[in-house]
Chains A and B, each alone.
Chain A
Amino acid sequence: MLSRTAENLFWLSRYVERAENMSRLLEMGYRMALMPAAGDGNRSEWRSVLSAAGCAEGFDSDNTELSQATVSDYLIFNRDNPSSIINCFEYARANARAMRTAITQEMWEALNGALMELRKTSMRNLAKTDLPGFIDWVKSQGALFRGATDSTILRNDGYDFIRLGTFLERADNTARLLDVKYYVLLPETSMVGDGVDNYQWTTVLRAASSMRAFHWVYRDDYSPWRIAHFLILNPFSPRSLAHCMENVTNHLERLARQYGQRHAVHSMAVDTYSILTQGDMDDIFSNGLHEFISDCLQRYQALSSAIAETYYHGGR
């Protein structure tokens, strides 16, 4: 497969996953903001969403007042925000268009259709109460694309690059979702374990579309410890770091088998995965959840670069 094609496929699926995650972060902010909070009129929730999205600096430089409408607009429609949902779909489609031959008609139509819809929408015609509906729509577009991919594309190396993009991005996203808790709690650590705190933790679960799944695994024990375990170490949770890294490792292994060649990136992935298979929640919490997450994010970054180094510069 052409190096450029592999790189495009990888980023294409990352952007689709990222768009979906932006909508999950928004959902989280929206739900948290529905809770009564002390003093600042829910603004810390929206700030935490921006921080977790890695968009706080960009938002601040616009000197916009912090509110649900402004943050939503920034995360959904802002053309200057490289991670905005509309930009994610624009990039994904541009990547798809640059290698139409490597994706199927169904995948193209899913992407192209989503962007055509999105271009017709703006914050102004998205009524306040429509935000949850819009969030659902974005998630369904992601599902549509992944479904089209799963049911139509050849199971060759192209498939592996697509899945690598999806799972690296998803791992990154779940880590960031968890981090929202860190940012939102920071000013008010005294609240750990009280009603608001638990509500916020369950909101994290909800944003990861994992409420029901969690219930099946742990019944109604919504303790932070359990929730963090579900999203970090539980291999059965589809959005957990463990599950994502299991997939990243598998798809890299598949590439090694197909190409008959192993590289440094393969052992890097195995190392990162083993931290999760051998991990322990007590250790993670006592060493600091935020520190653990920061370390994971750095590792994902490094893995992404190593994949590029190994496969995207083919030849010379």
Chain B
Amino acid sequence: MFNEMEMNGKVRDPYRALVDWMDVTGPETLAQKRLEAETLFRKIGITFAVYGEGGDPERLIPFDLIPRIFTASEWRRLERGVKQRARALNTFLYDVYHNAEIIRAGVVPADLVYKNAAFEPAVIGIDPPRRVYSHIVGVDVVRVGPDEFYVLEDNCRTPSGVSYMLENREIMMRMFPELFSKLRIEPVDSYPDQLLKTLKSIAPAKCEGDPNIVVLTPGAMNSAYYEHSFLADQMGVELVEGQDLFVSEGRVYMRTTRGPERVDVIYRRIDDDFIDPLCFRPDSVLGVPGLMNVYRSGGVAICSAPGAGVADDKAIYTYVPDMIRFYLGQEPILNNVPTWKCARPDDLKYVLEHLPELVVKEVHGSGGYGMLVGPASTKEECDTYAERIKANPSDFIAQPTLSLSACPTFVESGIAPRHVDFRPFCLVGDDIRLTPGGLTRVALRDGSLVVNSSQGGGVKDTWIMAE
């Protein structure tokens, strides 16, 4: 297992100053600071609700004080790799809703695209502004060695967590100002500005003048509501719910105290299925009736575009390196995790024979739900899961259990290494932008590889060292 902080018994360079500082500060002060940080989070109201568990609808995500650090050169490589991926994924999205060249060339199987639940026939042939479908790409990256990074998955719809990247930094700067003045850490606070720039750059054809931008949220009960309001606030745009919007004569309007006001760009944080009850789920009360008609006629821009989910499917994921070669003529900078597709008979056979060594995921699942972590499961659990795979092989993929890198983390017993992953956020509009930072998630239980916040994982601040 690779330890982010130590190698061969020595502290790695990027962590040197941090370790010195922790030694001087001492465990008691750190423990005290940790309590202070939690109070701050609670006071500010930075919360995350978990569906279906009852209990506190405004739960705190455990926050760990010990940052995860990347050197400038590590970051440069990650940055290039993520941008390359975001570019390929967007080209893919445009392609599958237009000429489908990648399918005709036999690189990606047609069924994977057209039978995909996230494929949206309603947007075939639509040319969204700048041909961008996925404007915010969250790429989940893990590290297994000093120079070995793997992409775990791509999130092309509405990746969340960016508010934690910003708030974690805010809290760290409030708690440890002396560290920030001593070290040269790249700032992350330009993200909201860059997001706004990206949203402005995708104004629809019919928009005249400065585009009017809104963030569309399902409401205060949504698990990521804090993030929705945070982003709207930071960008200085309205946070709206479906009930605040309506469609009239081919344009979208919001209800204001001065009467109707036109809306040009919608950063929606609700799923495709819910954005327009006339087009998708008729029972949805979250969306805006008629929105898709306006979208199709170029009266409004929607970020991310409906149908973008077809690119972040776990089965499509396995083809991303091929996409990069096909569209960009480049070799992928970041590797995929080797993946077995249970839809293929040979792969299925291998997976069923090696379940206790593998991680199996549902192709359409998200957030760590419904997966099997072989090494951490009983024989009985594996057997039950095997039955599910056999019933619908094409719904599953499997990957080797990676030895995720670990980062020192505050736990009950003191400071101990815990597994981490990393999600940087890539913005795609007139340009491709990547904020130097991201969200590091940490599995708080000893030995656990599951970092999802819905599964009890925590978060850390991520520092990119300036050159």
Contacts and interface: CB of A to CB of B under 8 A. Distances in A.
Interface stretch (A65-73, A96-104, A134-142): A96-104
B233 A315 contact: no
A109 B230 contact: no
A98 B241 CA distance: 10
A101 B233 contact: yes
Contacts of B42: 116
A259 B258 contact: yes
A314 B240 contact: no
B220 A4 contact: no
Interface stretch (B248-256, B390-398, B418-426): B248-256
A2 interface: yes
B230 A100 contact: yes
A4 B244 contact: yes
Contact of B44 (A6, A109, A259, A311): A109
Nearest to A98: B220
Interface in A278-316: 311-316
A94 interface: yes
B335 to A, nearest CB: 40
A108 B45 contact: yes
Q: Is the interface of A mostly helix, strand, loop or mixed?
A: helix
B260 interface: yes
Contacts of B414: none
B258 A314 contact: yes
Contact of B257 (A105, A112, A311): A311
A157 interface: yes
The interface centre, meaning the residue of B219, B220, B225 with most chain A CB atoms within 10 A of its CB, is B220
Interface string A1-27: 111111000000000000000000000
A304 B428 CA distance: 46
B259 A315 contact: yes
Contact of A2 (B246, B248, B256): B256
A112 B226 CA distance: 14
B178 to A, nearest CB: 24
B256 A112 contact: no
Interface in A96-127: 97-101, 105, 108-109, 112-113, 116
Given A101-B239, A112-B43, A3 B255 contact: yes
A259 B232 contact: no
Contacts of B244: 2-4
A24 B117 CA distance: 59
Contact of B255 (A116, A161, A261, A314): A314
The interface centre, meaning the residue of A100, A112, A116, A316 with most chain B CB atoms within 10 A of its CB, is A100
Contacts of A116: 42-43
Interface in A1-58: 1-6
Contact of A100 (B43, B229, B257): B229
Interface of A: 1-6, 94, 97-101, 105, 108-109, 112-113, 116, 157, 161, 255, 259, 261, 311-316
Given A4-B243, A98-B219, 8 more contacts: A94-B220, A100-B45, A100-B226, A100-B239, A101-B229, A109-B43, A315-B246, A316-B248
In the complex, the 8 A-B pairs of residues with the closest C-beta atoms, listed nearest first:
A315-B255, A100-B229, A314-B255, A315-B260, A101-B233, A311-B257, A3-B255, A101-B232
8 contacts: A2-B240, A3-B257, A4-B243, A4-B244, A100-B239, A109-B44, A259-B257, A315-B256
